[in-house]
Amino acid sequence: MADISVLVVVDGIFQLGPQVVSAGPPDLRDETFTISKYVSLLLGSTSPTISVDTAHRSGDPNGTITEPFNFATSVPDLSVYDVIVMFGYAGTNYDAENGGPLPGNLIFIGPDEVTAMANFMDGGGGVLAAGDHEGLGSLMCGLLPRVRTMRAWFSQADSDPRIPAAAPRNYLGDTSMRADTLQLAADGTWHFDNQSDDIPQPLVFPNGTTHPILQGAHGPISHFPDHMHEGQVISPYILNDSLIPGD
């Protein structure tokens, strides 16, 4: 038995199989978002040892759980896992090419699933939930207690009635409202490919202070990798509604 048991759940365009690479410009060669490398690193750990189950909200034959994943019904008891990792893509995403928001029309997490995840966390289970700009990741993660209060999950362009009224809205993925951490290129402009260059983005700390989580052995972490159209992490807030208790 492994020291740590992990469940990784993805949705949207994420795939659980190997990376698909083709010819073309560097930022277009990887045709999929895949977590195969991430899973291989977990499985390669020898101290501690880590077991990994993988699943996709719409189903994926490459997962250890192949059918469409439901947090309430796909696993008899989520507490068999120590950590549940959620890489979310499904949710409102601005369509720059067509000049408007794309609705998140995939699987919104249901109340029974939210309850199952709340019980898992209340029992001591750990959760890592990741999204991105606009509403990416909101359909799987945006309603979960505690998870929903630690970043802005929902797009300003999303009018879905299931979004709690007090939920903060995320940066838009395009237009002047976009939040970048890219460095300017030598020609004075920003390029998507600059996310892969060797110039990291210096961080600016309000009042010159850093959160303990950004304190390293040699002082504050002062740079992050570049990324275009960032999402927003926030200080936890209290969401007083009757939809989901437990924040």
Tens of pLDDT, residues 45-74 = 999 999 999 999 999 999 999 999 999 999
Residues 77-100 have pLDDT tens digits of 999 999 999 999 888 876 554 554
Dist CA 180 CA 139 (whole Å): 23
Task: Provide the residue type at 174 as one letter.
Answer: D
Say if residue 48 is preceded by a cis peptide, omega within 30 of 0: yes
pLDDT for 205 equals 65
Cβ pair 52, 39 in contact under 8 A = yes
For residue 38, give the H/E element and its range.
helix 36-43
The residue whose two tokens read 């927003």 is 232
Mean pLDDT across 16-33 = 63
Higher pLDDT, 69 or 102: 69
What's the confidence (pLDDT) of residue 222? 80
Cα(160)–Cα(190) distance, integer angstroms = 32
Percent above pLDDT 90 for the chain: 37
pLDDT over 70 (residue 37): yes
Q: Is the pTM of this model over 0.75?
A: yes
> Would the pLDDT of 238 be above 60?
no
Task: Name the band, by pLDDT with cuts 50, 70 and 90, for residue 179.
Answer: confident
Both tokens of 88, joined, read: 């979310």
Spatial strand order in the sheet of 126-130: 50-56, 4-10, 83-87, 126-130
Q: What residue spans define the domains of the chain? A: 4-179, 183-228
In 3-state terms the chain splits into helix, strand, coil percentages (rounded to 5) of 20, 20, 60
The 10s digit of each residue's pLDDT in 111-120 is 999 999 999 9
Does pLDDT of 143 surpass 80? Answer: yes
Average pLDDT of the residues of the chain: 80
